[in-house]
Amino acid sequence: MSTKTFRGGAHPPERKERSAELPIERVEQVKQVVIPVNQHFGAPIQPLVKVGDSVKRGQKIADSDGRMTCPVHASIAGTVKKIEPRMQPNNVEGLCVVIEPDGSGATEFMSPLDGFACTKEEALARIHEAGIVGMGGAGFPTWVKLAPPPNKPIDVVIANAAECEPYLTIDERVLTEKPGDFVEGMAVVMRLLGVKRGVIGLEENKKHCVAGLEKAVAERARGAAIEIVLLKTKYPQGGEKMLIVAVTGKEVPSGGLPMDVGAVVQNVGTFVAVCEAFRDGKPLIERGFTASGGALESPKNLYVPIGTVIADLVPEVLKVDEAKVRKVIAGGPMMGVPVPNWTFPVQKNTSGVLFLDADEAKAPAEDPCIRCGRCMRACSCRLSPALLNKALEAGDLDLAREIGVLDCIECGTCSFVCPARIQLVQRFRVGKQLLRNKIAKEAKHAGK
């Protein structure tokens, strides 16, 4: 099997060996869950419960009938103690439902649904009702992705099993431990979309998963044509656009979506959640994530109720060396969000929590750009980061737009390779905001 890839990229130290061999540990007893009401990309939703209510595990606790929304469910049985803003892993405060367990273990799942026999409408409704969002990071509502407009035919479903972020091994573990559920979820999605071709995009460093996956495809795919494509181990191979171009050779047009090139991409965990939503009627109330980093005594792959507060796992489950920890990240080291403490809850798109020590978390001072061009060759979107940075420094937002600041996926490769350690991505984030403000302002003036 030859390996496919995209142009550009970099090779950050993987550090996956620390947790790649560790089976997923299930955490069942938690003293509370703090469930953010809004965990998806899209329009905000409202709580359906009030303080004092007793809720069952799997009961819907927040929803809205708007488009681009996704319901949220209680992940444990218990009593709603508070509904108040708390810090979310994206480092902003958002409304959260705090539930303390009552020990009853009462469960309220949906009834099972045969994903290979139901209608497409039923299948889509099930994925919506189960509150499934993209579990790889963006938290895009899955049901929206699976309901493309009729003028956008989909011809391939791609499972994003690249897991290109260093440290993170949860997808690798899921592929090793639950390949059947993963494949079944993928087959259900392919049937729902009426797509004949399924591709599992796997980075080469997870080659050992191939045998298990092939067996799972033979046993659980119900005849769906799912092939495994090995990808070069290179960051950001798991970027949606990079994955699509590696697998199909097609580039998602600037400003467009994967459906513009006939592709739907879902993360490994998302397919498992789909499988469980049909087979068990279980909404997305639990997820796996990797806890790692040099300031953590032993790294772990954990499976916890959504809303589990990281601090509640310390020190019984996670032994954090408080003297060593220099940076805490929700997610991976390349795109994850640095957080000021670890009192945040695991939400639907939290794939990792890292406790980095001083060696791993450097914040080196910036030097002047020497125009070496490393960022230009590494940029997975071919955006000429050094020139973009220069345009933004000069306040030339029109040039920044022309170069493509809005196309930046913020993967961090340019900042990673920069010998002058210029915080390019951070500057582009600011640049995007300035440009969006300018565009909005101009639109307003044009409207008058």
Partner 1 sequence: MPANSLLLSSSPSAFAGGSTRKVMAAVIVALLPTTVYGIVLYGVPALLVVLTSVATSVLSEWGFRALIRKSVSIGDLSAAVTGLLLALVIPAATPLWMVALGAVFAIVVVKEFFGGVGANPFNPALAGRAMLLMSFPAALTGWTKPFADAVATATPLGVYKTAEQALVQAGSTAADAASGAMAQLLDQLGASDMGGLYWTMFLGNRSGSLGESSILLILVGAALLLALGVIQWIIPVAMIGSVFLGSWALGLDPVLAVLSGGVVLGAFFMATDYSSSPMTPKGKAIFGVGAGLLTVLIRRFGAFPEGVTYGILLMNAITPFLDTLRVKKFGFVPPAKPAKEAAK
Stretch that binds partner 1, among 6-14, 20-28, 150-158, 272-280 (CB under 8 A): 6-14
Question: Is the peptide bond between 47 and the residue preceding it cis, with omega within 30 degrees of 0?
Answer: no
Q: Which is nearer to partner 1, 10 or 61 (CB)?
A: 10
Residue list 371-390, contact with partner 1 (CB under 8 A): 371-374, 376, 380-384, 386-387
Q: How far is the CB of 185 from partner 1 (least distance, A)?
A: 28
**CA 281 and chain centroid, separation:** 23
Select from 207, 317, 338, 357 the one that contacts partner 1 (CB under 8 A): 338
Q: Which is nearer to partner 1, 90 or 301 (CB)?
A: 90
d(CA 112, CA 335): 36
Q: In degrees rounded to 5, what are phi and psi of residue 12?
A: -65, 150
Q: Does 329 bind partner 1 (CB under 8 A)?
A: yes
**CA 148 and chain centroid, separation:** 20
Rg value, the chain, Cα:
22
Select from 134, 238, 412, 431 the one that contacts partner 1 (CB under 8 A): 412
Q: Does 152 bind partner 1 (CB under 8 A)?
A: no
Q: Which is nearer to partner 1, 302 or 403 (CB)?
A: 403
Q: Give the length of the chain.
A: 448
Sole residue written with tokens 């796992």:
313
Q: Does 31 bind partner 1 (CB under 8 A)?
A: no
Residue list 307-326, contact with partner 1 (CB under 8 A): 311, 322, 325-326
Stretch that binds partner 1, among 62-70, 75-83, 153-161, 422-430 (CB under 8 A): 422-430
Q: Does 249 bind partner 1 (CB under 8 A)?
A: no
Q: How far is the CB of 311 from partner 1 (least distance, A)?
A: 7
Which x/- pattern over 162-201 shows residues binding partner 1 (rule: CB under 8 A)?
----x-----------------------------------
- Whether 160 contacts 200, CB under 8 Å: no
Q: Does 234 bind partner 1 (CB under 8 A)?
A: no
Q: Which is nearer to partner 1, 80 or 335 (CB)?
A: 335
Q: Which is nearer to partner 1, 224 or 354 (CB)?
A: 354
Q: How far is the CB of 366 from partner 1 (least distance, A)?
A: 11
Sole residue written with tokens 């990079």:
242
Q: Does 357 bind partner 1 (CB under 8 A)?
A: no
Three-state helix/strand/coil letters over the chain: CCCECCCCCECCCCCCCCCCCCCEEECCCCCCEEEECCCCCCCCCEECCCCCCEECECCEEEECCCCCCCCEECCCCEEEEEEEEEECCCCCEEEEEEEEECCCCCECCCCCCCCCCCCHHHHHHHHHHCCCECCCCCCCEHHHHCCCCCCCCCCEEEEEECCCCCCCCHHHHHHHHCHHHHHHHHHHHHHHHCCCEEEEEEEHHHHHHHHHHHHHHHHHCCCCEEEEEEECCCECCCCHHHHHHHHHCCCCCCCCCHHHHCEEEEEHHHHHHHHHHHHCCCCCCEEEEEEECCCECCCEEEEEECCEEHHHHCCCCCCECCCCCCEEEECCCCCCEEECCCCCECCCCCCEEEEECCCCCCCCCCCCCCCCCHHHHHCCCCCCHHHHHHHHHCCCHHHHHHHCHHHCCCCCHHHHHCCCCCCHHHHHHHHHHHHHHHHHHHHHHHHC
Select from 57, 418, 432, 435 the one that contacts partner 1 (CB under 8 A): 418
Q: Which is nearer to partner 1, 1 or 372 (CB)?
A: 372
Q: How far is the CB of 36 from partner 1 (least distance, A)?
A: 20
Stretch that binds partner 1, among 110-118, 151-159, 224-232, 362-370 (CB under 8 A): 362-370
Token pair, residue 310, equals: 């990281």
Q: Which is nearer to partner 1, 114 or 359 (CB)?
A: 359
Token pair, residue 71, equals: 């319901």
Select from 364, 443, 444, 446 the one that contacts partner 1 (CB under 8 A): 364
Q: How far is the CB of 416 from partner 1 (least distance, A)?
A: 5
Which x/- pattern over 254-293 shows residues binding partner 1 (rule: CB under 8 A)?
xxx-------------------------------------
Residue list 427-446, contact with partner 1 (CB under 8 A): 429
Q: Which is nearer to partner 1, 4 or 421 (CB)?
A: 421
Q: How far is the CB of 401 from partner 1 (least distance, A)?
A: 11
Number of residues this chain uses to bind partner 1 (CB under 8 A): 70
| Residues engaged in binding partner 1 (CB under 8 A) | 10, 12-13, 166, 241, 245, 251-256, 311, 322, 325-329, 333-343, 354, 356, 360-364, 367-374, 376, 380-384, 386-387, 403-404, 407, 410, 412-413, 415-421, 423, 425-426, 429
